[in-house]
A = this chain, B = another copy of it.
Amino acid sequence: MAFEEKMIKSEYVFEGHLIQVRKDLVTTVNGESVREIVDHDDAVAIVALKPDGTIIMERQFRYAAERVVFEIPAGLVDPGEDPETAAIRELREETGYRAGKIRYLTTTYPSIGFSNEIVRFYLCTEMEKGETEFDENESIDLEEHPIEEIYKKVMNGEIADSKTQIGVLMTMNLIRLGELKDYLK
């Protein structure tokens, strides 16, 4: 059985707005070791699928990657907010679309080696267009593309964002399995 590490001592070394970083001393299979952990709020990612088979995509400059990234809508869950509510809210704020139907897809730990961040994925369908409400410092370009096209970009390595890869691969597989009939009428 894999050894379960226990915390001996925990010390916050950075407390920011988006992330908190701690240095924890833990018991390991061979004694003790230090684990550097990034605490991050839970997030949601949204595959927003229209009846014509297109999904809503965003282009935004990602400072961490130092480039414009092509990705599905996503955002943080507010404290005390239900993740599904957060997905509907983020879709509305970032794209203007109101989701009529929503289906949970899966959950992921994007960087399990050093962060407790969780991303929950939702499929939104039966959407109505309204106005966007971007955050003050957000600059997002919206595009709509056939999910088949984005799927091909995932498979040939043109999509570099993990949540877009996971959300699009899962949704395409569900479509092929015939499991989204109730969502694609």
In the complex, which residues of chain B have a beta carbon less than 8 angstroms from the beta carbon of A136? 30
Question: In the complex, are the beta carbons of A114 and B64 less than 8 A apart?
Answer: yes
Question: In the complex, are the beta carbons of A2 and B112 less than 8 A apart?
Answer: no
- Please count how many residues in chain A sit with their CB below 8 Å of the partner chain's CB atoms: 71
Copy tally for this chain in the complex stands at: 2
> Given the known A-B contacts A117-B111, A157-B107, A161-B109, are A14 and B17 also in contact in the complex, defined by CB atoms under 8 Å?
no
Question: In the complex, are the beta carbons of A2 and B63 less than 8 A apart?
Answer: no
Q: Does A132 touch B at the CB level, under 8 Å?
A: no
In the complex, which residues of chain B have a beta carbon less than 8 angstroms from the beta carbon of A155? 106, 170, 173-174
Q: Does A127 touch B at the CB level, under 8 Å?
A: no
4 closest residue pairs by CB, A with B: A3-B139, A29-B139, A169-B169, A110-B110
Chain A positions within 8 Å of B, measured between CB atoms, are 1-5, 13-14, 16-19, 21, 23-24, 26, 28-31, 33-38, 40, 43, 59-66, 68-69, 71, 74, 105-117, 119, 136-141, 154-155, 157, 160-162, 165-166, 169-170, 173-174
